[in-house]
Amino acid sequence: MSTMETSKDDALYEYPFELTDVPRLSFDDPQANRLIANQKPVVLTGTNLVNSALHWDLNYLKDNIGNSLFTVYQSKNRYFRYYEPRKIPQHKDFKPPTLQAEMNFSEFVDKLKECQKTGIHKLYLQQLLFQNIGERIIKDFISFNWDWINQQKNLNRWGPLSSNLLLIAMAGNITSVHYDEQQNFLAQVRGRKRCLLFSPEQFECLYPYPIHHPHDRQSQVNLENLNLKKFPKSADLEGMQAILEPGDVLYIPVYWWHQIESLPQNGVTISINFWYKVRNFLEESITYPLTTSQKIAIMRNIEKMITDALGNVDEVGPFMQSMVLGRYT
């Protein structure tokens, strides 16, 4: 007999803006490589990138991942909006939207079971994979398809792999819309994820927090509840969408906005991020017109310079306004 739990309707939330599908292509399709080269998102099938991890589940990880500590975020709602702790002191009124705790893996599993039962909190484990990992997990890790991903890195002249992040989410968790300053292959291991993507051209529609704010790189817009009074240009949003299945790899180009939702199901989703540094574009030969991503990099640098020079985050807005108002507007 179906319970409330299992009969839960899996219908996806309907956004009031256009969403086109991210192309879904085999890893050896030349068009897939063209999209990556042109910094356009694509879902790749058949990469075998994390095939050696497709058997991972909570029990296997609990038995094999070792006894080190893992970072687990706890939220009172389904949103996990990232924040930078080092930027909190300049913002006395800032209240972190999630709690961060360190625990070993079996403590995480216990807490997870409790949260699944009570439904009061959501948990999201986000842990960089580098040390103190058990032998069998290391073996799985070494067996990732590094040949394929290294080839991509070289083909596209990316910098070195900076990190791998292990992500374990409860059903319904949402990583709020944001952009990263690195190239990212998001590999799906378990469960399904709904990914919304917006090109860097949508900067004005997504109203990122100031660079000095703990929520730097995050959008102030709530995509599930648009506030057109406060953020009128969010009415012009146009995005792309991909549903990731185990084995799929989503290329998230640097500076592309993304929001990731773990789709309702029983249990958890497991994913692994592969982040690659980008070369400083000023070191490359520059061609004009600049791309939007290059302009965003410049804007970030200038905003940071002004913030550092003024030494007071409250002066940044008025300073920039007097620089442009009536002169460049």
Q: Which residues bind ligand SIN (CB under 6 A)?
A: 167, 175, 184, 186, 258, 260, 271, 273
The token pair at 74 is 């706890």
> In which order are the strands placed within the sheet that holds 122-128?
24-26, 42-45, 249-252, 183-190, 268-276, 161-170, 122-128, 70-75, 98-103
Single-letter code of the amino acid located at 47: T
Closest distance to Fe ion from the beta carbon of 284 (Å): 24
- Shortest distance, position 256 Cβ to ligand SIN, whole Å: 10
Neighbours of 47 (CB within 10 A): 21
* Pick from 120, 254, 237: nearest CA to 180: 254
Q: Read off the tokens for 212.
A: 């000095």
Q: Which residue is nearest to ligand SIN (CB)?
A: 175
Q: Which stretch binds Fe ion (CB under 5 A): 118-126, 147-155, 178-186, 207-215?
A: 178-186
Alpha helices in 119-251 (DSSP H): 135-142, 146-155, 203-206
Among 29, 180, 181, 303, binds Fe ion (CB under 5 A): 180
Name the minimum Å distance from CB 275 to Fe ion: 9
In terms of CB distance, is 29 or 180 closer to Fe ion? 180
Q: Which residues, 6 or more positions from 320, have their beta carbon under 8 angstroms from its beta carbon? A: 306
**Using CA atoms, how far apart are residues 15 and 95, in angstroms rounded to an integer?**
28
Minimal distance in Å, beta carbon 46 to ligand SIN? 21
Cβ proximity to Fe ion: between 180 and 245 the closer is 180
CB of 138 to ligand SIN, least distance (A): 23
Rounded distance, CA 84 to CA 209, Å?
12
Two tokens, residue 29: 């399709």
- What does 245 bind: ligand SIN, Fe ion, none (CB cut-off 5 to 8 Å by kind)? none
Nearer to ligand SIN, 223 or 307 (CB): 223
234 vs 271 by CB, closer to Fe ion = 271
Task: Residue 167: name its binding partner from Fe ion, ligand SIN, none (Cβ under 5 to 8 Å by kind).
Answer: ligand SIN
**Block residue for tokens 């599993």:** 109
140/216 with CB nearer Fe ion = 216
Give the shortest CB-87-to-ligand SIN separation in angstroms: 18
Nearer residue to Fe ion within complex by CB, 180 or 303:
180
User: What number of chain residues touch Fe ion (CB under 5 A)?
Assistant: 1
- Residue 52 has φ and ψ, to the nearest 5°, of -70, -5
Stretch that binds Fe ion, among 5-13, 134-142, 143-151, 179-187 (CB under 5 A): 179-187
Tokens encoding 57: 């589940």
User: Footprint of Fe ion on this chain (CB under 5 A)?
Assistant: 180
